[in-house]
Amino acid sequence: MKSCKKIFAAVISAASLLMSSLYAEYNSLGIPDSAEIRKTIIDNWLNQDLEGIRMQNSQIRANKAGEIFQISLEEQSDVFAVYVSPRTQINIDVYDSTGVHTVTEDAYPVNAFGSWMYVRSKDDGKPEYLRIYVAKNSDVYIQFKPHKNVTTCDFVIFNSFAAQNVPLGIPFEKLLTSSVQEIYNLTKNSLPWNYSGYVQNQYDSNILMVKTIRTYLKDIAYENDAMYDEIGKNISITKGTLHIPEERNKGKLVLSSCGFVKWVVDGLVDPIAGSYLKRGPLIESTVEYNPTGYQGNLNNSFNTNFSLDWTRNLAAAALSVRAKKTYLYKDTGVDVTVEPFTAVYTSKGVTNTAGYIKNTGYQPDNLKALLYVLAITEPDYFYLAAIRQTDRKSSEVKVFNDAAVIFPFFDKNGTFHISVFMDGEELKYNDFEKYLVKSKDCFVHLTRIKTSSNFYPMGIKGK
């Protein structure tokens, strides 16, 4: 797996790729299919020894549908790979004496939608694995490996295994010339092919909410323990008393981590209910402990589940307002508890994943993959994240203090995005991930809320 990580070429953003409309003629999934080309190169590329392949230059060939593919070789220290990659077109900004203009050029990314990567050992030429990129995101692929007399397959999403070591009743060599449709027919009951695609035009309200939140960020200032109550008064979350903003933040929306999350949800609630949410119901406990046990005694001193309770109750309240019926958290099903992955590839190798842990959530290792799956299976939802980290004063104590708002969605070009808002700011997902893993034993608990274009967050009075 390490060598496969090294062998990847740089990912070209799918947002800039203009894909052919002919793919559907070859398979029901719309994936570019190089099967007829691979059948013609079986001897001089796929079964040829490395020295023989080195003697050849990269080749450009077309299938009967007019799709253009490039056949190429790439070497690493211990393996080599033959790629069959479909042509894409990428827009490039060119600067000259007249200014800047955009030109379109052909490109053949080795990890593009529909690419095949056949990896073999340099030592003996034996196959290591065959990888097919089955989605417009290059972090989603299926992979086949020969294992003794059996072929096994994996379905991988952002280094997380949605299926792992699934046995196939077909010789590995036959896959080298199989069509996408043939492979789909063979694996449709054993691999989660529904994760390879998405339905267009289902993310308009997600995108609208993200754009709307962005317009308010310049007017938001972060302060501890600050929220706005049902009438728009700035108060303390923990005490319910008036919150006095710092002098430098006067004239701004002053919010804490959990206060900011409520502000977002209030933007959905107020257009329907005519007011914002009250503080009291949001701080109700959602976790029951033995009062005489360690955790029960600890919670008597301070609430270790603050942001967990807060996000659960916010999601329940949003559902209640939308349904025009009062629901308690325990009756709502707002928690995300799905477990689509069996294992995850980390710097330490492939390890089993813990999945969802009740009242705790998910480990950060496969959170991105989970959000990808949720964007496909729940396209009209966003998520409140309660973040559990180690207490700064005691490494034995785990606390839910902070919270974030997460929007996973696909744009019109099929590019996957994750917009994260936390503490009144928008974070790049990589930065959010670094923040999570910085704390040992960090977990993220998600609750779901339906998106809506009827979204009007509270602004600054007088603006």
The pLDDT of residue 294 is 55
pLDDT at residue 5 is higher than 60 = no
**pTM across the whole model:** 0.89
Q: Average pLDDT for residues 65-85, to the nearest whole number? A: 96
Q: Which residue has the higher pLDDT, 30 or 175?
A: 175
Q: Average pLDDT for residues 398-411, to the nearest whole number? A: 96
Nearest to 286 by CA among 262, 306, 302, 309: 309
d(CA 429, CA 451): 20
Name the least confident of 101-105, 229-233, 384-388, 402-406. Answer: 101-105
d(CA 319, CA 80): 53
The pLDDT of residue 23 is 42
Domain locations in the chain as residue ranges = 2-196, 204-450
* Measured CA distances, 246 to 223, 295, 389 (Å): 8, 35, 27
The pair of structure tokens assigned to 430 is 């990589």
d(CA 405, CA 402): 11
**Percent of the residues in the chain that have a pLDDT greater than 70, as a whole number:** 90
d(CA 316, CA 228): 18
What is the average pLDDT score of the chain? Answer: 90
d(CA 379, CA 373): 10
pLDDT at residue 257 is higher than 80 = yes
pLDDT at residue 406 is higher than 90 = yes
pLDDT at residue 322 is higher than 70 = yes
The pLDDT of residue 209 is 98
The pLDDT of residue 118 is 98
pLDDT at residue 22 is higher than 50 = no
Long-range contacts of 293-296 (CB under 8 A, 24+ apart): none
The pLDDT of residue 94 is 83
The pLDDT of residue 299 is 62
Q: Where are the alpha helices (DSSP H) in 332-428?
A: 367-377
Q: Which residue has the higher pLDDT, 281 or 198?
A: 281
Q: Average pLDDT for residues 144-163, to the nearest whole number? A: 95
d(CA 340, CA 184): 19
pLDDT at residue 272 is higher than 50 = yes
Strand partners, 133: 141
* pLDDT band, residue 403 (cuts 50/70/90): very high
Give the range with max mean pLDDT: 57-61, 146-150, 196-200, 293-297. 57-61
d(CA 353, CA 341): 7
The predicted-structure confidence for 293-302, as pLDDT tens digits, reads as follows: 555 556 655 6
* pLDDT band, residue 73 (cuts 50/70/90): very high
pLDDT at residue 166 is higher than 90 = yes
The predicted-structure confidence for 426-441, as pLDDT tens digits, reads as follows: 999 999 999 998 877 8
Q: Average pLDDT for residues 148-175, to the nearest whole number? A: 95
Name the least confident of 106-120, 159-173, 311-325, 448-462. Answer: 448-462
The pLDDT of residue 237 is 97
